[in-house]
Amino acid sequence: MSDWLTWQIVDSAFPTGAFAHSYGLESAWQQGEVEGPDGLRRFLRGAILQAGHATLPLLNSAYHHPEDLVALDEVSDVFLLNTVANRASRIQGRSLVATAARIWPTEPMMALRTLSQATCAHVAPLSGAAFRTLDLPLGTAQRVALFGAARAVIAAAVRLGIAGSFEAQRLQHASAAWLEEVARRCGTLTVDDLAQTAPVVDILQAGHDRLYSRLFQS
C-alpha cells in the first residue's frame, strides 16, 4: 500500500455518492438549528465526534474480524433507528463496495461485493472490510472515515450557501485538531463501544424527508 492509494480514496472524484448527502446539515439548517459560522462549527464538531463513536467502532471491528461482517451489518442496521440515516448508510455502503470492485476487481473484493448484496450493506462495517481488503493500514482507514465525514459536512455547507468556499476551507483546516483528538480517543473502540453522541442531530435528520424542498438525500 502506498500513499497514492490513500489520496485516491479521499479524493472528491472517487465515486462513492457521498456528495448526495448532507449528514443532517440540510435539515438542521432549515429548522433553524444551524445559524452562522458558530452554528456550522458546532455542527461539524458534533459530526466528527459522532463519526468517531458510531462509525469507527464498526469499522474497527470489521477490519479486525471480516468474518463477522454479516453480524456487524445487522448491528449497524439496529443501531441506525433513524430511517433517513439508515437508508443513507445502505446507499453509501453499496456504492463504496460496487466502486471498489470495479476499480480493484480482485477475488477478495468481488467476494465482498457478492456478500454485500445479501446484507443491508451499511457503510461503516463495509468500509472496514473493504479497506482491509485493499491493505490500507487500520490507522489510515480510520482517518479516511473521519476526514470523509468532516469533508462531507463542509462541502454540503458550501452547496447550501451556509458558508463560502474560503470560509469552508478555513473551517476544514481548523477541524484538523478535532479530527486528531477523535482519532486518538476512538482508535481502539469496538462494536461494544458503539454510541450515539448527537441525538438532537439524529432527530433533525429524521425529518429530512418532510422538508418542503431538498437538495440532498439525507
In a domain, 196, yes or no: yes
* Domains of the chain: total: 1
- The DSSP secondary-structure symbol of 118 reads T
Query: What CATH number does residue 101 fall under?
Result: 1.10.4190
Cell of residue 90, nine digits: 445502505
In a domain, 25, yes or no: no
What average pLDDT does range 93-113 have in this prediction? 96
Cell of residue 5, nine digits: 492509494
Longest dimension (CA), the chain: 48
pLDDT band at 17 (very low <50, low <70, confident <90, very high): confident
Question: How far is Cα 133 from Cα 154, in angstroms, rounded to an integer?
Answer: 29
Contact present, 21 and 218 (Cβ < 8 Å): yes
In a domain, 32, yes or no: no
Is the pLDDT at 185 greater than 90, yes or no?
A: yes
pLDDT at 1: 58
Cell of residue 217, nine digits: 438525500
Is the pLDDT at 2 greater than 80, yes or no?
A: no
**C-alpha pair distances (Å), 153 with each of 25, 51, 75, 118, 160:** 7, 12, 25, 30, 10
Average pLDDT, the chain: 95
In a domain, 30, yes or no: no
In a domain, 129, yes or no: yes
Is the pLDDT at 9 greater than 80, yes or no?
A: yes
What average pLDDT does range 115-134 have in this prediction? 96
3-state secondary structure of 175: coil
Please identify which residue in the block is written with the cell numbers 445487522. Answer: 74
Domain extent at residue 134: 43-210
What average pLDDT does range 166-178 have in this prediction? 96
In a domain, 101, yes or no: yes
What average pLDDT does range 167-195 have in this prediction? 97
Least confident of 14-18, 64-68, 91-95, 125-129: 14-18
3-state secondary structure of 36: helix
3-state secondary structure of 124: helix
In this prediction the pTM is 0.95
Beta strands in 36-113 (DSSP E): none
In a domain, 37, yes or no: no
In a domain, 51, yes or no: yes
Please identify which residue in the block is written with the cell numbers 458558530. Answer: 38
What average pLDDT does range 20-36 have in this prediction? 93
pLDDT at 13: 87
